[in-house]
């Protein structure tokens, strides 16, 4: 597997606030499916915004396929599915919205129409192509955002809570779709069942840093499950001996 994304000592935060994440270093390979888990406010969305070039890093670097990403430079190789669909959808109709990213890449005419039709079909939205986006239901909006990322055929998709608000059938369809895609996926989610089904590798962030990065079943053992759900991890559950690279947040160490 070849290197796709490299975060090098990345610090992430918002103006006027203490850094949300500090000194984040990790690597993702082409085609890899990785989950990013952590409690509310851990910094998953902020990290995605920095990787996608929306939020300027406080320090460190984001490199995609060896090239350093610049804030405000939106590369077709990376597509972000926002946590809040309303932050992403803005065109008059669903089909126009889904076409937006691919059109910006220079696609037009029949080639664009085909891409849009394929993305709509993949997200089971074909019949809604001409619907104004503000008239879509919550779950339809979520799927519209995913279609808008798929249409770009990016090397890396950043999916922020992709299953939130989906009914069981659409959640199942989403898992099938994501499992079949050959693209690298970084998925931020509280849906740990989806995480365990889709992602061989899990990164747990909390208290401003990476607490664990490894095989899903290892990271999401008893201690990891508690940390991912925002609970304090008792010393008795801390598997330091087995996994010395993991740094579980513990009682009394949080803010
Ligand atoms: N636009 C913003 N301006 C200022 N602070 C922000 C902004 N967005 C998020 N934050 C703050 O940054 C921190 C990290 O938030 P972020 O949304 O990245 O967490 P998260 O891990 O995605 O949380 P959740 O699981 O609740 O979605 C929080 O303290 C949040 O209040």
Q: What is the pLDDT of residues 141-173, one digit of tens each?
A: 999 999 999 999 999 999 999 999 999 999 999
Report the separation in Å between the CA atom of 174 and the middle of ligand 1, taken as the mean of its atom positions: 25
Q: With cut-offs at 50, 70 and 90, classify the pLDDT of residue 200.
A: very high
Who has greater pLDDT, 220 or 24? Answer: 24
Q: To the nearest whole percent, how much of the chain has pLDDT over 90? A: 78
Provide the β-strand partners of residue 10.
24
Whether pLDDT at 6 is above 70: yes
| % of the chain exceeding 70 in pLDDT | 91
| Pocket, ligand 1, Cβ cutoff 6 A | 14, 17, 20, 38, 40-46, 83
128 or 251, higher pLDDT: 128
Tell how far the Cα of 126 is from the centroid of ligand 1, in angstroms: 33
128 within 8 A of 136, measured Cβ to Cβ? yes
For 123-167, where are the alpha helices, taking DSSP H only? Answer: 138-150
Q: What is the pLDDT of residue 254?
A: 45
Question: Domain 1-74+184-255: which topology?
Answer: Rossmann fold (3.40.50)
Q: Which helix (H) or strand (E) holds 35?
A: strand 33-37
Residues with Cβ within 8 Å of 142's Cβ and at least 6 positions away in sequence, in order, are: 85, 162, 164, 165, 166
Q: What are phi and psi of 241, to 5 degrees?
A: -65, -40
Q: If DSSP states are collapsed to H, E and C, what string results for 178-222?
A: HHHCCCEEEEECCCHHHHHHHCCEEEEEECCEEEEEEEHHHHCCH
Element (H, E) at 27: strand 21-29
Q: Within 13 Å and on the Cβ side, how many CA atoms surround 228?
A: 25
CA distance 60 to 76: 22
Burial 15-29 (b: 16+ CB within 10 A, else e): eeeebbbbebebebe
Task: Name the residue of 13, 18, 42, 57 whose CB sits within 8 Å of the most ligand 1 atoms, as the mutation to test its pocket.
Answer: 42
For the chain, which residues make up each domain, given as ranges? 1-74+184-255
Ligand 1 centroid – CA 46 distance (Å):
6
Would you state the pLDDT for residue 246?
66
Instruction: Give the ipTM of the model, two decimals please.
Output: 0.99
**For ligand 1, mutation pick of 12, 13, 20, 56 (most atoms within 8 Å of CB):** 20
Per the prediction, the chain carries an average pLDDT of 90
For residue range 39-85, what is the model confidence (pLDDT) as tens digits?
A: 999 999 999 999 999 999 999 999 999 999 888 888 889 999 999 99
Residue 46 and residue 55: Cα distance in Å, rounded?
7
CA of 72 to the centre of ligand 1 (A): 20
Give the predicted TM-score (pTM) of the model: 0.91
Residue 244 confidence (pLDDT): 47
CA nearest ligand 1 atom 28, residue: 41
- pLDDT number for residue 99: 97
Going by pLDDT thresholds of 50, 70 and 90, the confidence category of residue 229 is confident
List b or e across 154-170, with b for residues whose CB sees 16 or more CB atoms inside 10 angstroms: bbbbbbbbbbbbbeeeb
Q: Whose CA is nearest to atom 15 of ligand 1?
A: 41
């Amino acid at each position: 597997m070849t290197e796709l994304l490299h975060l090098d000592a990345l610090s992430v935060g918002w103006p006027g606030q203490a850094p949300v994440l500090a000194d984040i270093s990790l690597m993702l390979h082409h085609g890899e499916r990785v989950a990013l888990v952590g409690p509310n406010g851990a910094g998953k969305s902020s990290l995605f915004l920095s990787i996608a070039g929306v939020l300027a890093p406080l320090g460190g670097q984001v490199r995609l396929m060896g090239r350093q990403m610049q804030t405000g430079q939106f590369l077709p190789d990376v597509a972000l599915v926002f946590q809040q669909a309303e932050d992403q959808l803005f065109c008059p109709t669903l089909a126009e919205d889904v076409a937006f990213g691919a059109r910006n890449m220079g696609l037009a005419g029949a080639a664009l129409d085909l891409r849009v039709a394929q993305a709509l079909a993949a997200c089971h939205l074909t019949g809604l192509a001409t619907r104004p986006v503000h008239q879509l239901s919550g779950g339809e909006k979520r799927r519209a955002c995913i279609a808008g990322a798929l249409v770009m055929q990016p090397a890396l998709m950043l999916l922020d809570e992709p299953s939130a608000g989906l009914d069981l059938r659409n959640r199942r369809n989403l898992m099938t779709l994501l499992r079949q895609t050959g693209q690298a996926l970084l998925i931020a989610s509280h849906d740990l069942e989806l995480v365990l089904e889709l992602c061989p590798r899990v990164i747990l962030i909390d208290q401003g840093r990476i607490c664990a990065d490894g095989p899903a079943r290892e990271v999401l053992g008893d201690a990891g499950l508690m940390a991912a759900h925002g609970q304090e991890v008792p010393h008795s559950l801390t598997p330091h001996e087995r996994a010395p690279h993991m740094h579980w947040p513990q009682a009394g160490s949080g803010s």
